């Protein structure tokens, strides 16, 4: 029997996800615009923090997805150094050092409103100079295949974050990439893979840890300027930084 395609899978996943999802204050139930939180995201955080690749990581990049709030709190409590972007990367990349979070404020600092009290903006140059290496990248997803591909949302911000970090040399193909999602978001479907799609190594759900089949390599071309959406260069400061380093001299 042939697999369903990605479009069919997305419809099926979102129908199931609606049963466990928590609406977003900005996007409500529009799963095409944000990564939703859901029942059991705390269990995802527990499972992720049990993994050796998390325990051994000193610096972790974490996306600002709703379902990662519990994980961000755990990482703060575990004294990890965190790099994070805002939604759409329109304000760039921010650093959160554990010593900057007052005791008792870890849960507040894990929220998208609260973290802004404590983070510090970092250019890519400063990240390269002061941080040097990202040990683990963690993101949410709209839909995930066991082969190692995220699909369903389509904005490509995480792929761009990987590309920018790869360009400055703070991640490489051996950097673990982990996706956190609900069990209903994991579906084995045929997905058209683009040159910028960031393949993932692990999927964490409330019930299991999945080592992906790693059927696709992580991209190594950096930022593919010809494939950027028209607004991205104008709206994303780190992209402008890379552009100027390459084309403004």
Could you tell me how far CA 116 lies from the centroid of its own chain?
A: 18
pLDDT given for residue 1 in this prediction: 39
pLDDT given for residue 184 in this prediction: 95
**Residue 154 pLDDT > 80:** no
> Which pTM does this prediction carry?
0.94
Output the average pLDDT for the chain. Answer: 93
pLDDT tens figures, 102-122: 999 999 999 999 999 999 999
How far is it, in rounded angstroms, from Cα 240 to Cα 242?
A: 5
| pLDDT, average across residues 65-71 | 96
Angle at CA 22, nearest 5°, toward 210 and 48?
A: 25
Output the six-digit token pair for 248: 């403004």
Answer for the pair 37, 27: CB distance below 8 angstroms, yes or no. no
Domains and CATH numbers, the chain: 6-247 (3.40.50.10420)
pLDDT given for residue 98 in this prediction: 95
């Amino acid at each position: 029997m042939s697999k369903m395609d990605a479009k069919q899978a997305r419809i099926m996943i979102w129908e199931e996800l609606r049963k466990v999802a928590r609406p977003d204050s900005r996007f409500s139930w529009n799963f095409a615009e944000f990564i939703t939180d859901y029942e059991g995201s705390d269990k995802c955080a527990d499972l992720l923090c049990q993994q050796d690749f998390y325990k051994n990581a000193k610096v972790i990049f974490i996306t600002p997805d709703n379902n990662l709030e519990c994980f961000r709190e755990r990482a703060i409590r575990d004294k990890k150094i965190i790099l994070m972007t805002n939604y759409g990367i329109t304000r760039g990349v921010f650093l959160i050092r554990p010593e900057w979070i007052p005791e008792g404020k870890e849960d507040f600092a894990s929220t998208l409103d609260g973290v802004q009290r404590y983070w510090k903006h970092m250019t890519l140059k400063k990240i390269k100079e002061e941080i040097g290496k990202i040990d683990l990248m963690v993101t949410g997803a709209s839909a995930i295949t066991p082969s190692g591909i995220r699909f369903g949302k389509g904005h490509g911000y995480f792929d761009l974050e990987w590309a920018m970090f790869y360009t400055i040399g703070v991640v490489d193909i051996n950097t673990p990439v982990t996706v956190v999602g609900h069990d209903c978001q994991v579906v084995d479907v045929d997905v058209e893979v683009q040159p910028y799609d960031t393949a993932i190594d692990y999927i964490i759900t409330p019930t299991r840890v999945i080592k992906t089949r790693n059927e696709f390599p992580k991209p190594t071309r950096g930022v593919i300027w010809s494939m950027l959406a028209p607004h991205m260069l104008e709206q994303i400061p780190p992209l402008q930084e890379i552009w100027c380093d390459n084309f403004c001299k």
